Amino acid sequence: MKNFKIYMILTGVMFLWGLNVTALKVIVGNFPPITITSLRVFTAGVSVFIILFFLKKVRLPSRKEWSYIIGGGILNVTGHHLFLGIGLKVTSAVNGGLILGLGPLLTALMAIIFLGKKLTFVRTLGFIFGGIGVTLTVLAGNTGLSGMSIGDFYVFLSILSQAISFIIISKAAKTLDPRLLTGYMLVFGSFLLFLIGLWKEPTGLASLGNASAGIWGVFFASAIFATAVGHMLYNYAIGQAGPAEASIFLNLNTFLSILFAAIFLGERITSSHLLGLIFIVSGVIFGSGALEELMLRNRAKRNAA
* Class of residue 203 by CB neighbours under 10 A (exposed 0-12, middle 13-18, buried 19+): exposed
* Class of residue 292 by CB neighbours under 10 A (exposed 0-12, middle 13-18, buried 19+): middle
pTM attached to this predicted model: 0.80
Containing structural domain, residue 164: 4-304
pLDDT surpasses 60 at 277? yes
What local confidence, expressed as pLDDT, does residue 219 receive? 95
What local confidence, expressed as pLDDT, does residue 95 receive? 60
- Angle subtended at Cα 139 by Cα 78 and Cα 226, rounded to the nearest 5 degrees: 35
- pLDDT tens-digit series, residues 23-68: 888 888 888 888 998 999 999 999 999 999 999 999 999 999 999 9
Residue 181 in contact with residue 169, Cβ under 8 Å?
yes
- pLDDT tens-digit series, residues 155-202: 889 889 988 998 898 889 889 999 999 999 999 999 999 999 999 999
The total of structural domains in the chain comes to: 1
Q: What's the Cα-to-Cα distance from 300 to each of 199, 221, 292, rounded to whole Å?
A: 60, 45, 12
- The distance from CA 65 to its chain's CA centroid, rounded to whole angstroms, is 22
Q: What's the Cα-to-Cα distance from 66 to each of 78, 173, 202, rounded to whole Å?
A: 16, 13, 30
- pLDDT tens-digit series, residues 193-222: 999 999 999 988 888 888 889 999 999 999
Residue 148 in contact with residue 95, Cβ under 8 Å?
yes
What local confidence, expressed as pLDDT, does residue 109 receive? 78
What local confidence, expressed as pLDDT, does residue 203 receive? 87
CA pair distance 229, 175, nearest whole angstrom = 21
